[in-house]
Structure 1
Amino acid sequence: MNPVEITETERLPLRVFAEKAYLDYSMYVVLDRALPNIADGLKPVQRRIIYAMSELGLSSTSKPKKSARTVGDVIGKFHPHGDTACYEAMVTMAQPFSYRYPLVDGQGNWGSADDPKSFAAMRYTEAKLTPYASTLLTELEMGTSDWVPNFDGTMTEPRLLPARLPNILVNGTTGIAVGMATDIPPHNLRELVAACQVLLKNPDATLAEVIEKVPAPDFATGCEIISDPTELRKLYETGNGMVRMRARWEREDDGPSGLQIVVTHLPQQVSPAKIQEQIAEQMRAKKLPLVDDLRDESDHEHPTRIVIIPRSNRIDVEALMAHLFATTDLEKSARVNLNMIGLDGRPRVKNLREILAEWLVYRGATVRRRLEHRLGKVNERLHILDGLLIAYLNIDEVIRIIRFEDDPHAELMRRFGLSEIQANAILDLKLRHLQKIEEMQIRGEQAELAAERDQLQDLLASEAKLKKLVGKELDEDAKKFGDARRCPIVARAAAVALEASEILPAEPITVVLSKAGWIRAGKGHELDPTALSYKSGDEYFAHAIGKTNQLLILLDSKGRCYTLNPRELPSARSQGEPVTTKLDLQDGARIVALLMGDEADRYVLGSTEGYGFQTRLGDMQARNKSGKAMITLDGAPLPPALTRAASDRLALVTAEGRLLVFPVAELPELAKGKGNKLVALKGQDRIVASCVAAEGTALVLTCGKRTLTLKPSDVAAYTAARAGRGNHLPRGYQTVDRIAPLA
C-alpha cells in the first residue's frame, strides 16, 4: 500500500493567519450575532425565535407550547448555539419590564424586575407570540423576504422579517460585538409613527422636525426622563449620549403610619430589591436617620410600590428624596449608542432622522414587493380563469376531447389556443364543477380580480400613492398596537446628596485619647475623661469637646494633621481602638493634640524653636489617612491654641524663664508652613509653654507645685512686639511647666 502523498500545501505566516481568523470571527460577531438590523430591529437569534414560533403555529390566538419545544426547534433548525443563551433571548422578549412592546407572551415564571434572571427552566414555561409580533410576520409569505439556506443547508429561513413598524426603535436592544457595541433605548410607537409621517410627507424634513415628534426614549418601567432637552437633542443628532432617568414617587399623608413616600416607577433595569438594599444599608450605617422604616408593598396590582416612612412629619420630603436620588439607583443614567446594521449591510452609528428615513426606504421596498407579488398572483389567476371560461363555453367539445383523444392535454392547447397552465387547470376540473353556475362565478371572480389588478398597477405606477399606502398602514398599526407615553419628560438638575450635617443631628461629644494612642468618643460634654477605664499601663492623655457634625483634627509630633469622623469612633464605654488603625502615622510620630470645632475656628500653631502662624481649622483638614503636612518643624510643635478675637494675646515662656506677650494679630494667617518668628531665642533656649488669652486677662503660671498669678497690670510689663526676647519672670518662677489664662 502506497503512503498518501500530499500534493498541495498552503503555508501562511502565523501573523497573517491569526489576523485573518480573528477578523473573520469579528465580522461574524458583528453581523450575525450582536448587532440588530435596521430593517426589523432584531438580532439573528431573536429573528429565528420569532420565525420558529410562527412555524410552530404559536400565534397570539393559539394555545401556547412548552418553551423547550421552541428552543429545540430554534437551535436544531436555525441557530446552532447553546440552548441557555437562546432561552434567555426568548425570556427577554417576554419580560414587560425589559421590552416596551413584548414579542413573546409567556406563561409561568418568566423572571421579575427584582431579578430578571430568576425565570424558570424552559421545561416548565410555555409561550406563544404576542399580537404585536404579527407586525413582523404577517407579510412573510407575500414575497417580501429573501430566503437563505439555514446552517446545514437542509431548509431555508428569512434573511429579514418584513416589519410593518420601525421595531429597531420601538423596542430597542443592547449588544456587545468586537470593537463596537449597541445600546438602543425603546421609544413610544405612536411618536415614531408620527415622525415617519413627517418624513413621508416631506422627505427633506429636518432632524429638528423629527425630534419634535420623538422628544425622548420611552422606557417600559415608566420612570421620569430628566435629561436636559439640549442633551436629548444632541443624543439624537449624533447617535451617542446618555439619558438620565429618575424614579417617580408620590407623597401620601394618610398612610397607616401617617406621612409616607411611595416610589411607584423605577428607572429601566433597576431592581426594587437593590433599591431597598441601598436604602437599608444607609439606615444600618446610621447615615440616614431621616428614615424610620422601609417597606415593599409591591403586588400584581402595583408592580412597584416601595414605601419609605420618614422619621417625622416635619422632615423636608423633597430634600430627602433628592438625597436618595443622589445616593441610590433611584436616579440612573442609561448609555445610548444608536449603532446598527444598515440596509447596505454595514454597521454604523446613525442619528434619528437617518434611522427612520432608511427604515422607510426598507418599508417602501417591502410594500412594493408585496404588491408585485400579489399582482403576479392575480395575473396568474386571471390567466387560469380565461382558460376555464373557454372550457365552459365549449364544454361539449372539451368533454369529447378528454374522452376520445389520445393526448387530450396537447389537443386542448391546439384546439383552443390554451397555454399549458390553462390546459392543466381544465383537466384538473371535477365533474361537480361543470354546473352552469360555475360560469357566472368565474365571470364574477374575473371582474373582482381585474379591478384589483388595475388598483395594484395604479399603486405601483405612482410613488406618491405608494407612500400614502405606507402611511395609512402605519397609522392603522399605531392605532392598533400603540399606547400613550409612559415616561414623562421633566428636565431636572442632577440630584445632590445632603451633607452629613444636614442629615444627622448634631450631638455633643467628647473625644478622648490615651497616652498609648487609643481613641474613643462619649456622648455629652459632662464626661470625665480621667475617670474612664484604661488598659494596664495606659492613662489619659488628651481630650476635645465638640459636636458630631464638627471637624476632628489630630496633630502629630512631626507637624502633620489628620482628620477623623467623630461619628465613626468607638464608644467611650469600650477602651477604644488604636489610632494607628485609622491613620498612617510616619515612623516615630505620635499624636500630640486633639482639636475639634468649626472650619472657621482660628488656631495659633508653632514650634518650640520660636516660629508660628495663624490658621483656620478648615485648612488643617486632611483628605486621606496619610494626613497633611501642616507645620514645618525644627523642634517640637507647640500645643495649638484657639483664638477667638483679633485683640487676643499670645503668651510665650522660654526655658530661660522669659515671658513675652504680644497681639495675635501680628501673626500671619497661613494654610501651612513655618510662619514668622514668635520670640528671639539665643543658644539652646526654646519655648516651653504657651497660651492665647483675651486682652486684659490675668495669666496663671504653673511652676512645679507652685503657681504664679499675673494680674493684667503685671502682664503689661511683659507685653512687647512680636519677635522680642521678653522679660525675666520673678526668681523662683522661672521654670514654668504650664501657662494659662485665669478662668
Structure 2
Amino acid sequence: MSVETTFTEGGERIALRDFTEKAYLDYSMYVILDRALPHIGDGMKPVQRRIVYAMSELGLNAASKHKKSARTVGDVLGKFHPHGDSACYEAMVLMAQPFSYRYPLVDGQGNWGSQDDPKSFAAMRYTESRLAAYSQVLLKEVAQGTVDWIPNFDGTLNEPEVLPARLPNVLLNGGTGIAVGMATDIPPHNLREVGGACIHLLENPTATLDDLCQMVPGPDMPTSAEIITPRHELRKLYESGRGSVRMRAVYEKEQGEIVVTALPYQTSGAKVLEQIAQQMQQKKLPMVSDLRDESDHESPTRLVIVPRSNRVDIEQLMAHLFASTDLERSYRVNLNMIGVDGKPQVKNLHQILGEWLGWRTSVVTRRLQHRLEKVLDRLHILEGLMVAFLNIDEVIAIIRHEDDPKQELMDRFKLSDIQANAILDLKLRHLAKLEEFKIKGEQEELDEERKYLEATLGSDSLMRKLIKEEISEAIEQFGDERRSPIVERGEAQAFSEKDLLTADPVTVVISKQGWVRAAKGHDVDAHGLNYKSGDAFKLACRGRTNQPTLLIDSTGRSYTVDTHTLPSARGQGEPVTGRITLPKGATIDAAVAGKDTDRVLLASDAGYGFVAKLADMTSKTKNGKAVLTLPKNAKVLTPQHLETTENKLLAAVTNEGRMLVFPVADLPELARGKGNKIINIPSARSAAGEEVLVALTVLGTNDMLVVHSGRQHHKLKAADLEHYRGERGRRGNKLPRGYQRVDRLEVIGTE
C-alpha cells in the first residue's frame, strides 16, 4: 500500500514507499562504491586512498621525518574524508601493521599494536608516521596526468579518483569489507608471483587460468604458517572467485617439547594458549603438563607446549589442537571488487589480472600522452627562444623601443603568443652565449624523447614492453620470497572422549539380578564384593577404561556399554537395564571387552560357534544387535579371546566327558549367525538336554592343558593332546575316568 506525504508547501508529493526505497538504494550504492569495496586499479577503499594521498601532500614520504599521526588524520578529515577520526586512524593503523598488511603502506613509529592484540595501538596523539617506500608503487605517477581528479566533499579541493598503481595492489595486500548485500574478502598475495603472472599475461595474451595458477599457486599471508588447502581447491577458488583457505601453525620438536614458531594469519598467540589452558582445566588434555609463551623481539612467535611424557604421540596431540584451537584457521575468500566500469563484481584470477593490465595500459597511455604534450610545449618554447638568440640584438632593440614589444616580436619573427611571452620572461643572465648551446642540447634530448613517446604510443608491442619493464622494476625493488608455504596436509581430527581416557585396567562385574559395576584392576575378588540382599556374583570380564564392554544376553544379542561410565565397585552398582533394553525374560549371560579389531570365539552349549570381530558385535543403540543365533534351549558360553588363529588349537569338552581338539582356523569368521559345528552332540541327546558343551579354551600347539574336575586336576601335555585331536565336528574322545565331569579348563603356556 502506498502512503503519500507532503514535505513542504507547494513541494513535491511522493509516496513514502518510493522515497524510502530510493533513499536506501542511494545509501546502499554509497556504501558499496565509496566505502566498503576496493577498486581493481589501486586495490584501495576511499579512506585508504585519501590517507595515502594526504600523507604524500604533507611531504611524508619514505625519506622524510615521521610526523604525529594526528596531523595526518586531521588533514584527511578536514580535506577529503569527513567521517570519524577513530575509524580513519584505525584504517591508517591497519596499513602500518606488518602482521596485517603483506606490504605495509605506512611506516609507523611508536605503539602500533601487536599480533596478539592488533587493536592495542596507542592513540594518534602519541604515534608518528610517514609513508613506506612501497607507497611509491601507488603514488609515483599521480601528478603525471594518469588519473581523473574529482572534487572533495566541499568542492574546495580535488582528489584523485584512483591512484595510478604500478602493481595489482588489490591482490598484493588484499582487503575485507562488508557493504549492503555484498562483502569482500581478498587474501594477500606474493608480489613476485603476481607480478610474474602479469608479465606472463602481457607476453602471452592467450594464457589460460591454469597457466596463471602455476605462477600464483595461492595466497601469501604476512605469516610463515602453512597453507594446507589442497591445490585443486585453490585452483577452483581462482576459477570462481569464491572459496576458502585453511592455514595451520608450524611447530618444531625441541628436547621433547613442542615449540610453535608460526601462527595463522590474524591469530593471537595469547588466545591460543588460553584455548589450550581451558582444555587442560576441563581435563580434556591429560597428555599436556605445561604451557609457556617465550615470544620476544627476536622470536615474535614461540609458544611452548610440554607433553606429560615422552610416550605422548606428538603428531596426534597436535592434530587435536589444530582441530580444536586457532592453531588452524579457515579464511573465507570472496574476490569482490569495483571494476574499471565502476561496478562491483566477483572476479576470477584471469579477469582480475586481465582487467588490471587493461587499466594499467590506459594509465601508462595517459602518462605518455601527458608527457608528450609537455615535451611538445617545451620544444615549441625552445624553438622561439632559439629564434630570439639568433636575432638577439634585434630582439633587444624591439623590447627597448616598441610600445607593444610582444606583438612586434610575433609579427617580426612569426612567433606564437606562448613563444613571445617566453622571450619576454627571459632573465638577463640567460642571454649568455652558453645558453644557446644549452637550448640546442635540450632540443635534441626532447626531440629524442618525443620520438620515443610517439613510437611507444603508436605501437602495442612497445607499450607492453614498457609496462613489463616497469612491473619488473617494481618486482626488483619491492619483491620478496613467499612467506606462507603451500603444503599438503591431512585433515586434523580432535580427540573423542574415549581417546582422552587412560587405559587403566578394570574388571566389569555383573550380578545374578543384573546389576553392573566396574572395579579397578584385574586382580579383583569378584565373589567377595558386597551384593544386595538375595543377589550374588554371576560373571566378570577384564577390560580397560578406554575400551567398550560388550554384554551378550540369553537370546544371543550383543549390547555395548562405555566401560569408563560404569559405577564404581565400591558401591553395589546399578541395574544394567538402565543402560540397555533387554527382551522380556532375557538375562546377561556373557561379557567381553577389548579393541574393535580384537577377535573372539563365540559359541553356544549346543556345540556351534564361530570367530567374530568385536567391531561387528558393537551396537550403537540400547536395543543391541543380534550376533549369536541360539538353537532351542541353548545357552551362550563365555567368549574366548583370540590374539590370532594361526597355530592355535581349540579344546571343547561336553558334560559327558568327551573332548575334541582341532585348529581354531577351521572355524569361520562371521559377523553374525549360528556358526559351524564344534563338537558333535547327537540331536536326540541334545533335544533331551542330556549332553551339552560345557567348556571351551584356546591354546598354543606347545601349551599344557589342565582339566579341573572338582578338587582334582589332570595335566595334558602337547603329546597327550594328540589322543583328542580330530576334525572339527567329530565326537571327540572320552577323558580318563574321574575327570569326565569337567568344571573348567586351564592353559599353561610353555612358549
Scaled by the length of structure 2, the TM-score of the pair is 0.73
- Residue pair 1:40, 1:162 contacting (<8 A) in 2 also: yes
Q: Take 1:266 and 1:358, find their aligned partners in 2: how far apart are those partners? A: 34
Pick from 11, 18, 21 the counterpart of residue 19 of structure 1: 21
Task: Give CA deviations for 1:221-263 in whole Å, capped at 9, x if unaligned.
Answer: 02222222222222212222222222222223xxxxx322222
Partner of 2:129: 127
Equivalence for 1:311: 308
Summarize the alignment of residues 341-380 of structure 1 with structure 2, pairs less than 5 Å apart: 341-380=338-377
CA distance in 1, matches of 2:453, 2:745: 109
Distance 1:491 1:601, change over 3 A: closer
Deviations 1:258-284 (A, max 9, x none): 322222122212221222223223333
Letter in 1 for 2:295: S
1:727 equivalent in structure 2: none
Partner of 2:482: 485
Q: 2:81 aligns with which of 71, 79, 82?
A: 79
Are 2:559 and 2:580, in contact at CA under 8 Å, matched by a contact in 1?
no
> Partners in 2 of 1:572 and 1:120 — Cα distance?
61
CA RMSD of aligned residues (A): 5.0
Is 1:9–2:13 an aligned residue pair? yes
The aligned counterpart of 2:279 is 282
- Is 2:286 the counterpart of 1:297? no
Q: What is the aligned counterpart of 2:67 among 60, 65, 82? A: 65
> 1: CA distance between counterparts of 2:71 and 2:510?
71
AA of the residue aligned to 2:402: E
SS state of the match for residue 174, structure 1? strand
Which residue matches 1:137? 139
Amino acid at match of 1:72: G
Say whether residues 1:230 and 2:232 are aligned partners. yes
Q: Does 1:190 align with 2:192?
A: yes
- Alignment partners' CA distance in 2, 1:85 and 1:621: 59
Q: Contact conserved, 1:288 with 1:504, CA < 8 A, in 2?
A: no
- Match among 452, 456, 459 for residue 459 of structure 1: 456
Residue type at the aligned position of 1:410 = Q
1:724 is matched with none
Q: In the superposition, relative to structure 1, how do residues 509 and 584 fare at CA in structure 2: closer, same or farther (>3 Å)?
A: closer
Change (3 A) 1:492 1:8: closer
Deviations 1:354-392 (A, max 9, x none): 111111111111111111111111111111112222222
Please, which of 157, 161, 164 is the counterpart of residue 162 of structure 1?
164
Shift of 1:524: 4.0
Q: Does 1:323 align with 2:320?
A: yes
> Do 2:372 and 2:450's aligned partners in 1 also have CA atoms closer than 8 Å?
yes
Label 1:565 to 1:414 Cα distance change in 2 as closer, same or farther (>3 A). farther
Letter in 2 for 1:101: Y
Rate the CA distance shift 1:167–1:375 in 2: closer, same or farther, 3 A.
same
Q: Which amino acid aligns with 1:126?
A: E
Quick one: which amino acid aligns to residue 57 of structure 1?
A: G
Residues 580 and 624 of structure 2 are in contact (CA less than 8 Å); yes or no, is this contact kept in structure 1? no
Quickly say closer, same or farther: Cα 1:358–1:400, change in 2 above 3 A.
Answer: same
Confirm or deny: 8 A CA contact 2:559 2:624 kept in the other structure: no
Does 2:423 align with 1:421?
no
- SS in structure 2 at match of 1:10: strand
* Matched letter for residue 216 of structure 1: G
Which residue type is aligned with residue 87 of structure 2?
A
> Quick check: 78-87 or 363-372, which moved more?
78-87
Aligned amino acid, residue 551 of structure 1: P
Per the TM alignment, residue 120 of structure 1 is displaced from its structure 2 partner at its CA by: 1.6
Q: 1:571 to 1:265 in 2, by over 3 A?
A: farther
Match of 1:470 in 2: 467
Mapped to 1, the partners of 2:120 and 2:12 lie a distance apart of: 55
Deviation of 1:197 after TM superposition, in Å, equals 1.4
Deviations 1:557-577 (A, max 9, x none): xxx99988666789999x999
SS at match of 2:23: helix
Q: Say if 1:295 and 1:306, in contact at 8 Å, map to a contact too.
A: yes
Q: Distance in 2 between matches of 1:550 and 1:505?
A: 10
CA pair 182-411 structure 1, distance change in 2 beyond 3 A: same
Query: Which residue does the alignment assign to 2:723?
Result: none
Distance 1:64 1:229 in 2: 43
Would you say the 8 A contact 2:567–2:574 is kept in 1?
no
Q: Which of the residues 32, 35, 39 maps onto 2:41?
A: 39
Identity among equivalent positions (%) equals: 61
- Residue type at the aligned position of 1:69: R
Normalised by the length of structure 1, the TM-score is: 0.74
One-letter identity of the residue aligned with 1:198: H
2:123 and 2:545 map into 1 onto residues whose CA distance is 53
| 1:323–1:11 Cα change, 3 Å | closer
Preserved contact between residue 248 and residue 265 of structure 1 (Cα < 8 Å): yes
Q: Does 1:445 align with 2:442?
A: yes
Shift of 1:292: 3.1
**Once the 2 structures are TM-superposed, how far is the Cα of residue 483 of structure 1 from its aligned partner?**
0.7
Distance 1:519 1:33 in 2: 67
Q: Deviation of residue 159 (structure 1)? A: 0.5
Select 1:397's aligned residue among 370, 394, 399.
394
Deviation at 1:62, TM superposition (A): 0.8
Q: Cα distance 1:459–1:317, how it changes in 2: closer, same or farther (>3 A)?
A: same
Q: Deviations over 1:458-494 (max 9, x none)?
A: 1111111111011011111101100111122222222
Q: How many residues align?
A: 653
* Matching residue of 1:717: none
Equivalent-residue separation in structure 2 for 1:153 and 1:404 (angstroms): 47
Please name the residue that 2:209 is paired with.
207
Contact 2:42 2:162 survives alignment (8 Å): yes
User: Letter of the aligned partner of 2:278 in structure 1?
Assistant: E
Structure 2 distance, partners of 1:554, 1:182, is 56
**Structure 1 position 239 matched with structure 2 position 236:** no
Amino acid at match of 1:298: S
> Cα offset for 1:211?
1.3
Asked whether the equivalents of residues 136 and 164 of structure 1 are also in contact (C-alpha less than 8 Å), the reply is yes
Q: By how many angstroms is 1:142 displaced?
A: 0.5
1:583, distance to aligned residue in structure 2 (A): 9.9
What SS does structure 1 have at the residue aligned with 2:259? Answer: strand
Distance 1:166 1:545, change over 3 A: same
Deviates more, 1:460-469 or 1:292-301: 292-301
Alignment of 1:640-655 (within 5 A): none
1:537-616 equivalent positions in 2, closer than 5 A: 546-551=543-548
2:412 matches 1:412: no
Q: How does 1:99-138 map to 2 (within 5 A)?
A: 99-138=101-140
Q: Which runs of 5+ in 2 are unaligned?
A: 1-7, 532-536, 582-587, 603-611, 627-635, 642-649, 653-669, 673-693, 698-706, 708-742, 747-751
The answer on whether the counterparts of 1:620 and 1:628 sit within 8 Å (CA) in structure 2 is no
Q: What residue is the counterpart of 2:722 in the other structure?
A: none
SS at match of 1:72: helix
SS of alignment partner, residue 93 of structure 1: helix
